[in-house]
Structure 1
């Protein structure tokens, strides 16, 4: 192991009632790093986190809050003086318990149901949370309409720029071929949100609070050796409607298929309903969020904002083709879902 890293770990561990043995660097991404450390109490996981103290204090509070409500997530070890984090050389470190297990697989229906039920439990358990620092590091609840409107405006901006360009490539051609179609999806999404039930839910959540994980997906989950579903990486917690997490996991699952699967979508929503049931009006809001071309927008943004500069143009084109096919295929499925919402709302009550 790099001597510098070894020195950092030694400095951090000195703050804890732990005796360190073997140290392994699991990942390093500049501002973020993860180590496995063998100690006299067993293996622990040390993370370097790129946040300010307020954000870290909220994250640790949220982890403790969720664990107290029955959510399975690694506990945070406290220092000898009772702190949940350490500052060393102007950087922050948190030590977590190690959890052993494997990632769930979307292709296995029972494991997919477990993910949705786990997500529902997470949302339900988070209700009523307050921040120990007086504010929340992220509060996306009030930004829905303005964020979607901004994304539509960016699509128009990219469209006008590339229409005027003389150096168009295949990516530009593909984007220009479909952008108007997806702008209509975006406008339809915003129109569906322009409803009193959306505003009412936002106002209720401002008072009651509930958290979204923002990446409640297989990569951040593990079916533990004890059979429980564990959730990791509470870095991006935000106060928001639960449909943000629902939309994200639904998109993740559907984009792995050739096209949207109506019955699989119903299965996912029904699994969620068994734990944290949503009303018909709230499910309409979920449909509105799914209606927005998030996948198309995300891939276009990666290319035009140069967020994946290591990718070849060919890879960007391939991904854009995939996202276009996925976002187009959802149309009929969402129309059918709106007709069949009672099958979701009444699931388990027949």
Structure 2
């Protein structure tokens, strides 16, 4: 942690003057990926000031959702209004929010009990999100009704990356990529066909009508375990989408860290979620479809051929690709045994 510089300190004091607190100290905690976090000492305890490089109207959408979750009883840090009742502050290309700082037990990806609690929390999150009506000035983000377009775009890009790889026969990454790309393209095309099922559109309309949202990324660094339960320290972002998107992203993230798809762990996690927010068989089938689509494979190819991670060595890219291939190979058995796994999830969760 670092003390703030003079010019920065004056700007932050101006931002904080909009809030009803007496500030005694400001300490920089972190700055990365367009977001900067400061710890703020006040007469009412420690607060967190977050600066995000985003349109203030987009932050208004997120901050309003944060308040909605809090009002619906979700264990999440208190977000503070300005003296005039605003959810956030806009300053040029940046937006600011202020919320309470909480400390608890660290949440990690290799703790099965904590993963179970995170999935229970995810179920509560999706339920608490229902009925959110953003204020008129908000800049809304949503993916509902866009799955077909997104799948097609990723598959087209994968085809394009295949053509690029063919022009580099001596490139180790490209050689590995070409050995696997046709299998991933076929899986992606099957997934695209599966979301043509009439139920997919029906569920999309139901979620639109519910005015619910997804968290987008249940990164564990944003959680603390307090009194044996999960507590969200920060709401990073939201989007309007089917709840299974959050499940797909989190399952893929956990399994990628393990370099293998652990079916028993996946069942354990999904049973925990289903015990709190029960999904129907058709809704679980949509999750299976999204898990079968090669999101991770598309992402690593996108990063490599666009040179997005300039700090990565060739060896790191190759390791990342090997990891994803191993994960997708080991996922096959899970994907092909939907019926048995679905019934096991329902048995574990109470059969709701």
Shorter chain as normaliser: what TM range? over 0.9
Partner of 2:117: 114
Taking the TM superposition and a 5 Å limit, the aligned residue runs for 1:323-334 are 323-334=324-335
How many residue pairs end up in the alignment?
A: 348
Partner of 1:162: 165
Whether the aligned pair in 2 keeps the contact of 1:278 and 1:345 (CA below 8 Å) is: no
Which of 46, 62, 65 aligns to 2:68? It is 65
Separation (CA, whole Å) in 2 of partners of 1:82 and 1:135: 15
Separation (CA, whole Å) in 1 of partners of 2:220 and 2:46: 23
Whether the aligned pair in 1 keeps the contact of 2:29 and 2:37 (CA below 8 Å) is: yes
Deviations 1:161-197 (A, max 9, x none): 221x256411111111111011111112112222111
Q: Which runs of 4+ in 1 moved over 3 A?
A: 87-91
Deviations 1:315-335 (A, max 9, x none): 111111101110111011221
Separation (CA, whole Å) in 1 of partners of 2:107 and 2:210: 31
Whether the aligned pair in 1 keeps the contact of 2:259 and 2:324 (CA below 8 Å) is: no
Partner of 1:185: 187
Partner of 1:310: 311
Q: For residue 102 of structure 1, give the secondary structure of its aligned residue in structure 2.
A: coil
Separation (CA, whole Å) in 2 of partners of 1:52 and 1:104: 31
Please state if 1:27 is matched with 2:44.
no
CA distance change for structure 1 residues 192 and 345 in 2, over 3 Å: closer, same or farther?
Answer: farther
Give the superposition deviation at 1:88. 4.4
Separation (CA, whole Å) in 2 of partners of 1:227 and 1:37: 27
Partner of 2:336: 335
Please state if 1:82 is matched with 2:72.
no
Between 181-190 and 279-288, report the one with greater CA deviation.
Answer: 181-190
Whether the aligned pair in 1 keeps the contact of 2:35 and 2:51 (CA below 8 Å) is: yes
Partner of 2:216: 214
Question: Which segments of 5 or more consecutive residues in structure 1 lack a partner in the other structure?
Answer: none
CA distance change for structure 1 residues 166 and 186 in 2, over 3 Å: closer, same or farther?
Answer: closer
CA distance change for structure 1 residues 256 and 91 in 2, over 3 Å: closer, same or farther?
Answer: closer
Q: For residue 241 of structure 1, give the secondary structure of its aligned residue in structure 2.
A: coil
Deviations 1:229-281 (A, max 9, x none): 12244342011110000001111111122421221111111101111000001
Partner of 1:250: 251
Partner of 2:173: 171
Question: Which segments of 5 or more consecutive residues in structure 2 lack a partner in the other structure?
Answer: none
Q: For residue 48 of structure 1, give the secondary structure of its aligned residue in structure 2.
A: strand
Between 70-79 and 312-321, report the one with greater CA deviation.
Answer: 70-79
Partner of 1:285: 286
Partner of 1:345: 346
Whether the aligned pair in 1 keeps the contact of 2:56 and 2:94 (CA below 8 Å) is: no
Give the superposition deviation at 1:85. 2.1
Whether the aligned pair in 1 keeps the contact of 2:55 and 2:94 (CA below 8 Å) is: no
Separation (CA, whole Å) in 1 of partners of 2:309 and 2:199: 38
Whether the aligned pair in 2 keeps the contact of 1:31 and 1:49 (CA below 8 Å) is: yes
Cα RMSD, aligned residues only: 1.9
Separation (CA, whole Å) in 2 of partners of 1:303 and 1:320: 10
Q: TM-score, normalised by structure 2?
A: 0.93
Separation (CA, whole Å) in 1 of partners of 2:217 and 2:48: 20
Deviations 1:47-91 (A, max 9, x none): 112222321222221111111111122222122222222344664
Partner of 2:95: 92
